Amino acid sequence: MRVLGLETSCDETGIALYDSERGLLGHRVYSQIQVHAEYGGVVPELASRDHIRKAKPLIQEVLDDAGLTLEQVDGIAFTSGPGLVGALLVGACLGNSLAWALNIPAIGVHHMEGHLLAPMLEDEQPDFPFIALLVSGGHTQLVKVEGIGRYELLGESLDDAAGEAFDKAAKMMNLPYPGGPALSALADQGDAQRFAFPRPMTDRPGLDFSFSGLKTFTRTTILNCAVDGVLAEQDKIDIAAGFQAAVVDTLAIKCKRAMQQTGVQRLIIAGGVGANRQLRAKLQTTAEALGGRVYYPRPELCTDNGAMIAYAGTQRLLAGQHSELAVSVVPRWPM
């Protein structure tokens, strides 16, 4: 079965073609970063318009790369939530219209299920069950994955998501949008020990997270270091390093705890923050110290993409599920 995947939940237009026999046939991601950069964050209306502009040509490019035509597609998967409602509607309208015109099934996919299953797009796939650390701009969750559609939430952030915390801390340091990758690049050169950033909620039992305290600590540290409102470059680098180390350590401590509590030795990382090099390295040593293994998608499949939606949709279509050809999306949708 060949499935066309459409991801339009936020500020990336992701299009992919997945074949249940041959794997990923191709994918393209168009990032709207330039469109939103001057506003310092995603402007929903501009996001919707850009998805409309880009989705169709990208579908053509993916089909051309694979040497296929639309008539050779057997199903359509689109992100139906959570996300920005206008942006989601673009993918849902396009997906349903294509399915109707081609007389093939369509399926709405949960964006986070896509992230969760992204490691399945790699050559080395984890067996079930595995523990998934989902770390994106909107979510920080630890999930026990028993199989497709069988997800148990073990813990989540009670306030900011890890990516959101990265983005907010970066904004305080006047780093360019999106802040996560910019802060991380700076942090890799700094002294993470210079400022005593806390490891929130690690001194009590449980698998929930809280990142808003790190934000406050960052703000206070910036205020203490700045002279006449200006932060010296070395201070900025060391604050970034301290912040990143605190997020990475906190995530690693909770992953270790989740693996120990469940006895599950396979850990996967998914979501945009999963592209963070320090986090990947730390989780690798954490899992190996427990005799386990960590699996992660290549960085381009950690951030938003159509391939993960095509994959998740394929599994659901193969299981006989499909959506009604009516356009409905779910901007807020617990998994």
Residues annotated within a binding site for substrate: 134-138, 167, 180, 276
9 vs 314 by CB, closer to ligand KG4: 9
**Residue 110 CB coordination number (10 Å):** 21
Stretch that binds ligand KG4, among 164-172, 226-234, 261-269, 312-320 (CB under 6 A): 164-172
Give the per-residue contact string, 270-289, with ligand KG4 (x = CB under 6 A; - = no): -xxx-xx-------------
Torsion of CA 160, 163, 164, 165, to 10 degrees: 70
What does each C-alpha distance from 297 to 6, 155, 214, 268 come to in angstroms? 19, 22, 27, 8
Residue 244: Cβ within 10 Å count? 25
Residue 183: CB minimum distance to ligand KG4, A: 7
Strands (DSSP E) contained in 234-335 are: 266-270, 293-295
Q: Which of 180, 292, 306, 313 binds ligand KG4 (CB under 6 A)?
A: 180
Say if residues 262 and 131 touch (Cβ distance below 8 Å): yes
Helix H or strand E segment including 56: helix 44-66
310: closest CA among 73, 31, 39, 55?
A: 73
114 binds ligand KG4 (CB under 6 A): no
- Is residue 167 a contact residue for ligand KG4 (CB under 6 A)? yes
Structure token pair of residue 124: 């080395």
Contact 231, 219 (CB under 8 A): no
User: What is the chain's alpha carbon radius of gyration, rounded to the nearest angstrom?
Assistant: 20
Size, binding site for ligand KG4 by CB under 6 A: 20
Contacts 24+ apart (CB under 8 A), 18-23: 18/121, 18/307, 18/310, 18/311, 18/313, 18/314, 20/314, 20/318, 23/121
- At its nearest, how many Å lie between Zn ion and the CB of residue 9? 7
For ligand KG4, which is the closer residue by CB, 105 or 178?
178
CB of 306 to Zn ion, least distance (A): 12
Tell me the per-residue interface mask from 119 to 158 with Zn ion, x by CB under 5 A, - otherwise: -----------------x----------------------
Among 181, 190, 292, 297, interactor with ligand KG4 by CB under 6 A: 181
What, of ligand KG4, Zn ion, none, does residue 181 touch, CB below 5 to 8 Å by kind?
ligand KG4
- Quick one: 26 or 163, whose CB is closer to Zn ion? 163
Q: If binding is defined by CB under 5 A, does position 286 make contact with Zn ion?
A: no
Task: Name the residues that contact ligand KG4, by CB under 6 A.
Answer: 10, 136-138, 163-164, 166-167, 178-181, 184, 271-273, 275-276, 303-304
